[in-house]
A and B are shown apart, each in its own frame.
Chain A
Amino acid sequence: MTTKKDTLELREKELGSGQELTVGVPDNGMQNASGDLPKRDYNYGSSLNKVAVGQKVNKLYTAGGDVGVPLNIAPQRPSQYPCNQIDETPSGHSIEFDDTPGGERVMIRHRKGAGIEMRADGSVVISATNNKVEVTGGDQTVIVEGHGNLIYNGNLNLKVSGDFNVDVGGNYNVNVAGNQVENIKRNHKTTVEENSHYITKGTKNTKTVGTHTDIMLADNNQIVNGNQQNVVEGNVDFFSEEKIFISGKEQFAVSAKVANIAAAKQISVFGQKGVIGGKEVDFTGKSYYGSKGEEEAASNAIFWGTFKGVATEAIRSVNADKAAFAEVADLAHSQSYGEALTSGSTVGDTATLHSLSQEDISGQDAPITPDLVVDHTLNGSYAIQTVVVDADDVLKNSLNIEEKYNFVFRTTPTMQEIRSAFRNEDSRNTVSDLLVSEGRLNPDYKNIVPPAIGRTVSKKASSRYGYTPIGNALENRGKRFTP
């Protein structure tokens, strides 16, 4: 910038224009005016780039892989001179076009290690030491012929404005250490062509505001180890085209204001003892037996109240009365003094008895006997069922491994989870034997003698070689320093 105090004209007049134009320009063409070149590494040495002559290999920042996920990057061989055309700025940014046989590559590298590298085997490495932003204005297509690994050590948010379609040819495996939450604003439909298998180790709750319909086209089994409650505020309809059998080993009770049990062909209600009937209950049937069956006057049954009809006893009484009367009349007739006979009796007639057919006693037992009741409840297709679900909790324990591992692990542990849990000495002592028996832990886990010893360092700061000389002369670069 020219000002009033500019002495350019004066200097040109006194020193000549040539002198002025060469101010700050070294006499030696191998040096530059700013002094940033040659770089310190190149002092007193060849000015050829060390990368170009193979003394140094520029690398992008890649760090290591992740556990079980290798980067599969082959080591880069040093360049052969003059195959590598490298352009490096004073701060360290570089562009390389390397034709070294077997190590051909193109690399654009930031001095911090970020950049892009196209390697000899066709691999492309892109590295960002900080954030990476990709913006695609139109469509984007990614085709990977091999495997892929995506590792996010932070959170991952995936937002799709349109449809999100996932088409998996093999298995689709999801492992979630925390919770899984799905919120669906409309419908949810899942179709499984073969079998479904769900295991809930804790409590399961399902709420349906609308109608819930389960249609099973084959059998349906509900097996409950604890209690089961079906509570219905409305009606319950329970239909079967064939048999319905309900067995309660201890008790079975039905209560209702109005209860109806009707059998089109046959009904049986019996028990060892109890009560049937009520204040205004009518009984209709073919015969009634006391507990001793057909045993006259001692069938072990009592009727209270009015009995309408004719009992055997009453029939006999009538017949006895008739017979006695006839005997008296016969006697009077033979003695030739008359007496008016009342109706129903004829002098000289033999007494006519009423039929005792209703009293056709065979002496058989009552159809319902204690033995019959016992037999019915213990044997046959209507016997009281014995229910045992998961005896000795074998199934439960196989699913709920928390107890198996004494609550140290909630799930089958991985090696690293075992390692973590073993920070707790109690846990270590509790489950180590089980883990060894399962083959998840080295039986020699208690060995306190290391297999071999390498380097050792004390608590004091270690001496180390400097990588970035700070004020050191080149010849002192290898000097140790203590941080």
Chain B
Amino acid sequence: MMILVDPIYNPENQETITSATKLGPGITIAKFLGAYGDRTSFNHVEFDFTRRQIARNLYLHAEAMRVINGNTDIFNDVRLIVSEGLYRRNLLVDILDTNMEDKAFGRLVYYQVIGRDGKIDFEKTFEVAEYWKDYINFDTLYLDYDSYNPDGSLTAQIGLKFPEVSATFDVNFENNIETWYNNFLQSRDELVEIRETE
């Protein structure tokens, strides 16, 4: 599939790629750097071709975010935030892990859906995942729940994994969906809403 890229935001048209490079209206690369799970600067990416590759990968994420944040009819009361963005790999422990590699190159990003109360909106999280499933293309969409909080409370995230985007933006998507709980696969090809109580 050839993606038609807005020339204003096409990383290939940018002279240099920095954290201020825009990927969409109101979305810069910086949005994927300051995720509160993976805070890092862009300085650790030294080579321009790597930065450009990351920018192309993140462009698809910016489009996915725009689909939600721009939909004021359905998602007016929630905010989609990047909870795990660009990841700076620890070469001692992460070098062989594919998940971390996907995160390090901007292919895999995790999001949270935050309500007006500043907390995760679980219902809308499921609806955002379902909406993405229906309206955008991706390699894998992870509806990810866990009870890692010390108090055992539930946390929900949505992971979006896109394939490597070439300079021509000719991309093939697999559109897989998976549901995970505590890093254990609950369901493949199905989104399952997990709740704290019945």
Contacts of B74 in A (CB 8 A): 467
Structural contact, A446 and B182, CB atoms closer than 8 A: yes
With beta carbons under 8 angstroms apart, the residue of A66, A416, A424, A468 that contacts B93 is A424
Contacts of B28 in A (CB 8 A): 154-155
A440 at the A/B interface (Cβ < 8 Å)?
A: yes
Structural contact, A448 and B181, CB atoms closer than 8 A: yes
Which residues of B174-191 have CB atoms within 8 Å of chain A's CB atoms?
175-177, 181-184, 186-187, 189-191
Q: Would you give the shortest CB distance from A431 to chain B, in whole angstroms? A: 9
Provided the pairs A426-B97, A483-B135 are in contact, do residues A65 and B186 lie with their beta carbons within 8 angstroms? Answer: no
Q: Complex Cα distance A446/B133, Å?
A: 28
Contact string against B for A residues 415-453, beta-carbon threshold 8 Å, 1 for contact and 0 otherwise? 111111011111110100000000111101111111111
B6 at the A/B interface (Cβ < 8 Å)?
A: no
Contacts of A447 in B (CB 8 A): 147, 182
Q: Would you give the shortest CB distance from B76 to chain A, in whole angstroms? A: 6
Contacts of A456 in B (CB 8 A): 187, 190-193
Structural contact, A66 and B79, CB atoms closer than 8 A: yes
Interface segment among B8-16, B112-120, B163-171: the answer is B112-120
Q: Which residue of B lies closest to A68 (CB)?
A: B118
Structural contact, A445 and B31, CB atoms closer than 8 A: no
Provided the pairs A445-B147, A451-B197 are in contact, do residues A67 and B116 lie with their beta carbons within 8 angstroms? Answer: no
Structural contact, B152 and A416, CB atoms closer than 8 A: no
Provided the pairs A70-B117, A453-B192 are in contact, do residues A442 and B151 lie with their beta carbons within 8 angstroms? Answer: yes
Structural contact, B112 and A67, CB atoms closer than 8 A: yes
Contacts of B41 in A (CB 8 A): 177-179
Range for the number of chain A residues in contact with chain B: 35 or more
Which residues of B78-118 have CB atoms within 8 Å of chain A's CB atoms?
78-84, 87, 90, 92-94, 96-97, 99-100, 103, 110, 112-118
The secondary-structure label for the interface of chain B is loop
Contacts of A178 in B (CB 8 A): 39-41, 43
Q: Which residue of B lies closest to A454 (CB)?
A: B193
Contacts of A462 in B (CB 8 A): 130, 133-134
Contacts of A483 in B (CB 8 A): 134-135
B25 at the A/B interface (Cβ < 8 Å)?
A: yes
The secondary-structure label for the interface of chain A is loop
| Number of A-B contacts defined by CB within 8 Å | 218
Contacts of B114 in A (CB 8 A): 64-67
Interface segment among A211-219, A222-230, A406-414: the answer is A406-414
A62 at the A/B interface (Cβ < 8 Å)?
A: yes
11 contacts between A and B (CB under 8 A): A63-B78, A64-B121, A67-B112, A130-B25, A155-B19, A408-B90, A414-B37, A424-B99, A440-B150, A442-B147, A461-B134
What is B's interface to A at a CB cutoff of 8 Å? 19-20, 25-28, 30-31, 34, 36-41, 43, 69-70, 72-84, 87, 90, 92-94, 96-97, 99-100, 103, 110, 112-119, 121, 126, 130, 133-135, 145-152, 154-155, 157, 175-177, 181-184, 186-187, 189-198
What is A's interface to B at a CB cutoff of 8 Å? 59, 61-71, 73, 112-113, 129-131, 153-155, 177-179, 406-408, 410, 414-420, 422-428, 430, 439-442, 444-459, 461-462, 464, 467-468, 483
User: Can you add 4 more A-B contacts, CB < 8 Å, to A154-B27, A416-B36, A441-B150?
Assistant: A64-B79, A419-B157, A426-B97, A452-B198
